[in-house]
Amino acid sequence: MATTSEVQVWVGLIGSLVTIGVSVLGVLNFQRRRDQAAAVGAAFKDVVTSLSSDNETLRMAAAILLRRFFNIRSEQGAGRLSYANEAVAVIAGLLRKADSGAIQKVLADGLRYAPSLAQADLQGCNLTGAYLGQKRGDKKIVNLTNADLFEANLTGASLKGVKAPGAVFVEATLERTVLSGADLTGADFRGAKLNGAKFDGAQIDGAQFSGAHNVPADIAGQLTRGE
């Protein structure tokens, strides 16, 4: 039978081992997180570099891979989506000078996967044909709250069901754009081109449409026009 002193020795030894074990795990976890962050950064750099390639297939692949930085379950989304904001900024920068086409649409559609586009700077972006709207059976709702889409081109794009209160669409092109069911409370459409735009079911309380072109006749009576 162990004496009291022997029990105390064993308790002390076990406590020391636990303390050392916790310390070692802490160091290993820190090292793993640091290595992981470095790997994500390197991957982001590689993708951005590929976007400037002369090879269209490589550019297309890179445009698709940017979405992985929005997915917390992917390797590139590790570290609490540490490169998500940078990915949005890269996409926006490319879309400001992109001609409409396959790669442009992949980049524009990719914004739908961003954790949030609230207060995003999307000024002058070519979002032609982009599908940012809510899809059937999909719980994803794009958040464009207070986003800046000044002079953006959203021709034929879908913003169906999006959350965009306070969003700025000043002088934007929204021809044939679907805004059905969207929250556009207090949004600013001054000077926007709205030929064929669909606003059915949209919340437009406080929205401004002063100087907007081709405001749809079926909702003209509901609009609160700014000065």
Please provide the average confidence, as pLDDT, over all residues in the chain.
83
Where is average pLDDT lowest: 28-32, 53-57, 65-69, 198-202? 28-32
Whether residue 23 has pLDDT greater than 50: no
222 & 131 share domain:
yes
- Residue 224: band (very low, low, confident or very high) from pLDDT cuts 50, 70, 90: very low
173 three-state secondary structure: strand
Averaged over 208-226, what is the pLDDT? 77
The dihedrals phi and psi of 143, each to the nearest 5 degrees, come to -105, 105
Side chain identity, residue 171: E
- Residue-level length of the chain: 227
66 & 160 share domain:
no
Domain boundary among 98, 130, 157: 98
Q: How far is CA 130 from CA 133, 159, 168, 220, in A?
A: 9, 8, 17, 25
Rounded Cα distance between 139 and 152, Å, is: 26
**108 in a structural domain:** no
Rounded Cα distance between 24 and 120, Å, is: 41
Domain boundary among 98, 127, 144: 98
Tokens (6 digits) for 172: 């934007």
Number of domains present in the structure of the chain? 2
Q: What is the CATH number of the domain that holds 143?
A: 2.160.20.80
In sequence order, the 6+-apart residues with CB closer than 8 A to the CB of 189 are 169, 170, 172, 174, 207, 208, 209, 212
Averaged over 188-195, what is the pLDDT? 97
Residue 56: give the domain boundaries.
Answer: 10-98
pLDDT in tens, 84-139: 899 999 999 999 999 999 999 999 999 999 999 999 999 999 999 999 999 888 88
Taking residue 194's Cβ as centre, other Cβ atoms within 10 Å add up to 23
